[in-house]
Amino acid sequence: MEKEKGEDMKIKKGLDVHSGDFWYDLADGGYLDPAKICADKKDAAEVKKAIEVIKDFQTSCEEQIEEFVQ
């Protein structure tokens, strides 16, 4: 079941987590681990899947669009 707009994911309480660059820390650096942050395992899996989809999209753009990366 999809979440309604504005229905937040629940985050574990008491975490000591910081980010200087959210996308890098989440997708590339691995400092933000959804499994350690999301209270619900389904939310963590959804976040991980979304990251993979966006990375696949980025790779496709870089490979298929001439001069995409400047």
With beta carbons less than 8 A apart as the criterion, state whether 15 and 37 touch.
yes
Identify the pLDDT of residue 47: 96
Overall number of domains in the chain = 1
* pLDDT at res. 46: 96
Residue 54 lies inside a defined structural domain of this protein:
yes
Does the residue 18 lie in any domain? no
Domain range for 29 is 23-64
The yes-or-no verdict on residue 4 having pLDDT over 80 is no
- Indicate whether 4 belongs to any domain: no
Owner of token pair 């979304």: 50
Residue 9 has which token pair? 């994911």
pLDDT tens readout for residues 18-44: 999 999 999 998 899 999 999 999 999
Residue 41 belongs to a domain: yes
- 5 found inside a domain: no
Q: Does 46 map to a domain? A: yes
The verdict on residue 69 lying in a domain is no
